[in-house]
Amino acid sequence: MKQKCVLIITDGIGYNKNSKFNAFEAAKKPSYEKLFKEVPNSLLKTSGLAVGLPERQMGNSEVGHMCIGSGRIIYQNLVRINKAIENKELEKNENLQKLLAKCKRVHIIGLYSDGGVHSMDTHFKAMLEICAKNGNEVFA
């Protein structure tokens, strides 16, 4: 007889036995609890280095689905950009250098936050520093 297997991904539900501030754990959910007790299951790490993000950085659906779908850690743009800033790769980027040489006035528009999901303040600051170093007039 063939074994059946089902992959159930419950987006947005973190595992925490403490129900004080956890609506999901406090809720009555007999079907879910029965499955969790009777069927082989596994918990996945969904933040930080386990999914290609900086340590202690929360993940999101996109990050989780990419790692599950590929079966490996995929370093996210946040990490890739951080590394490019650290090793001066961003500053030396040929396309960025061509752009800054051609356009003396630079308007930088974007989100400014340390949240890391849709923006990172250090990336914004790095772009300001690169523009200043190149002598560009910056409007942010």
Q: Map out the domains of the chain as residue ranges.
A: 1-75, 77-139
List average pLDDT for each run of 10 residues in the chain, which is 140 residues long.
84 78 87 91 88 89 88 92 96 96 93 88 96 93
Alpha-carbon distance of 26 to 94, in angstroms, equals: 54
* 119 has catalytic annotation: no
Q: What pLDDT was estimated at residue 113?
A: 93
Single pTM value for the model: 0.70
Q: Is 5 helix (H, G, I), strand (E, B) or coil?
A: coil
Q: Residues near 59 by Cβ (< 8 Å), separated by ≥ 6?
A: 46, 47, 48, 51, 53
Q: Which residue has the tokens 């297997």?
A: 5
Instruction: Name the catalytic one among 31, 61, 70, 119.
Output: 61
Largest CA distance in the chain: 71
Q: Across 1-140, where does the E strand assignment appear? A: 105-107, 137-139
* pLDDT given for residue 1 in this prediction: 80
**Beta carbons of 26 and 19 less than 8 angstroms apart:** yes
Task: State the Cα angle at 125 between 123 and 128, rounded to 5°.
Answer: 115
The predicted structure's pLDDT at residue 58: 87
Within 13 A of 67's CA, how many CA atoms are on the CB side?
A: 21
pLDDT for the residue 43: 84
Q: Give the CA radius of gyration of the chain.
A: 22
